[in-house]
Amino acid sequence: MLVAAFNRADMVEWLLAHGASLDARDWSGLRALDIARAMHADASVAVLDQAGSGAH
C-alpha cells in the first residue's frame, strides 16, 4: 500500500504480477487504490484501476 501511496507504479505492477491482492485492506479498511486516490498518486491509480478491470 505504501508503494501505491508514493506513486511507485512500477512497484505496484511488480507486486500485482507476483500475487498481491487488489482487495487487501489496511487497519482502517482502505485498499491500496483508496490510498493512492487520496494521495493523488495518479500513476498508481491508473495501474490499480487497470488491474481491477481485468485488463493487462
% of the chain beyond a pLDDT of 90: 89
| Model pLDDT, residue 56 | 47
Share of the chain above pLDDT 70, in %: 95
Please state, in angstroms and rounded to a whole number, the distance separating the CA atoms of residues 43 and 55: 16
Q: Let me know: does 7 contact 51? Beta carbons within 8 Å.
A: no
Domains of the chain, each with CATH number or no CATH? 1-54 (1.25.40)
Rounded Cα gap, residues 41 and 6, in angstroms: 7
- Mean pLDDT score of the chain: 94
Neighbours of 54 (CB within 10 A): 6
pLDDT over threshold 80, residue 25 = yes
Which pTM does this prediction carry?
A: 0.88
